[in-house]
Amino acid sequence: MNEMAKLSGFEHIEHIDIPLPKEASKELFFQTDEDDERVWMPISDNVHIRPLLFNVVQGTWCNIVKAQGEGLVGRHRHPAPVLGYTLEGTWGYLEGDWIGRAGSFIYEPAGETHTLVVHPDEGHMKVLFHNMGPILYVDEKGEQTGYEDVFTRIAMYKKHCISNGLGEEFVDNLCR
Q: Are 53 and 28 in contact (CB under 8 A)?
A: yes
d(CA 159, CA 44): 16
Render pLDDT for 138-159 as a digit per residue (tens, 0 to 9): 998 989 999 999 999 999 999 9
66 vs 8 pLDDT, higher one: 66
- 9 — pLDDT class (breaks 50, 70, 90): very low
pLDDT at position 88 is: 96
Q: What is the pTM of this model?
A: 0.83
d(CA 127, CA 141): 27
- 2 — pLDDT class (breaks 50, 70, 90): very low
> Does residue 126 carry a pLDDT above 50?
yes
pLDDT at position 32 is: 66
d(CA 34, CA 43): 18
pLDDT at position 131 is: 97
What is the CA angle 135-169-87, rounded to 5? 50
pLDDT at position 14 is: 62
> Does residue 7 carry a pLDDT above 60?
no
Class level of CATH domain 37-172: mainly beta
> Does residue 1 carry a pLDDT above 90?
no
d(CA 19, CA 61): 14
Region 149-176 average pLDDT: 94
Q: Are 133 and 79 in contact (CB under 8 A)?
A: yes
Q: Which residues touch 29 (CB under 8 Å, ≥6 apart)? A: none
Burial bucket for residue 71 (CB in 10 Å: 0-12, 13-18, 19+)? buried
Q: Are 85 and 127 in contact (CB under 8 A)?
A: yes
Conformational region of residue 59, where left means phi above 0, alpha means psi within -120 to 50, and beta covers everything else: left
Domain spans in the chain, listed from the N-terminal domain onward: 37-172
Render pLDDT for 58-69 as a digit per residue (tens, 0 to 9): 999 999 999 998
